[in-house]
């Protein structure tokens, strides 16, 4: 008597098909679990800000621009408002490039003691200002468990009381920050 196949499951392929289904279900479970953990961590950070973050903000000078002489005007809190490509590769942010820019999310807080907070997660770190080949460079590092992890190497294009323009290390994108 011939064996019939119902719903595409034949007796020969059943273990292989069950194994594939089980593998797919495991992947879905892990992706869902990772999503839930990320959601819970971010919700906790929003509802319970770290006390040390508040202390760092309170230790900044009341007028960040007054302390800027020792750090080329970058002392204070900065919020990313625009990212734009250097389409003509001239190293200057042109008005046409600015108009084509996109909104982004990033944050820096530079303190007078060389420490900083990085990203919207406010990771603790430090920064260095250097002149390389006659250009001002800003090096940022995340400090994690006693290790210093490079975060970025910027070219400083301009800094004013209200705006800081950085050029990425690959010289392709401008990051425009607004002082908070």
Contact 78, 71 (CB under 8 A): no
Query: What is the CB neighbour count within 10 angstroms for residue 91?
Result: 12
Q: For the segment 64-102, what is each residue's pLDDT rounded down to a tens digit? A: 333 334 467 999 999 999 999 999 999 999 999 999 999
Separation CA 66–CA 73 (nearest Å): 8
Separation CA 71–CA 159 (nearest Å): 11
Q: For the segment 8-30, what is each residue's pLDDT rounded down to a tens digit? A: 555 566 667 777 777 777 776 77
- pTM to 2 decimal places: 0.60
3-state secondary structure of 26: helix
Between the CA of residue 87 and those of 32, 91, 95, 165, 174, what are the distances in Å? 40, 9, 11, 16, 10
When mean pLDDT is compared across 36-45, 99-108, 137-146, 154-163, the lowest value belongs to 36-45
What architecture (CATH level 2) is domain 53-179? Answer: Beta Barrel (2.40)
CB under 8 Å to 94, separation ≥6 — which residues?
Answer: 88
What would the mean pLDDT of 102-119 be, rounded to a whole number?
A: 94
């Amino acid at each position: 008597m011939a064996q019939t196949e119902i719903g595409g499951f034949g007796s020969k392929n059943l273990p292989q098909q069950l194994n594939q289904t089980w593998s797919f279900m495991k992947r879905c479970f892990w992706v869902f679990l990772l999503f839930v953990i990320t959601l819970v961590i971010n919700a906790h950070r929003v509802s319970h800000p770290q006390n040390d973050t508040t202390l760092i903000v309170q230790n900044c000078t009341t007028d960040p621009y007054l302390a800027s002489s020792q750090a080329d005007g970058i002392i204070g809190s900065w919020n990313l408002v625009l990212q734009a490509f250097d389409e003509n590769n001239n190293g200057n942010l042109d008005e046409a490039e600015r108009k084509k820019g996109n909104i982004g999310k990033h944050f820096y807080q530079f303190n007078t003691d060389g420490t900083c907070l990085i990203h919207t997660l406010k990771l603790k770190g430090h920064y260095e200002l250097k002149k390389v080949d006659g250009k001002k460079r800003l090096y940022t590092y995340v400090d994690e468990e006693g290790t210093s992890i490079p975060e970025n190497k910027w070219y400083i294009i301009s800094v004013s009381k209200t705006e800081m323009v950085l050029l990425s290390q690959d010289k392709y994108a401008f990051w425009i920050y607004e002082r908070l």
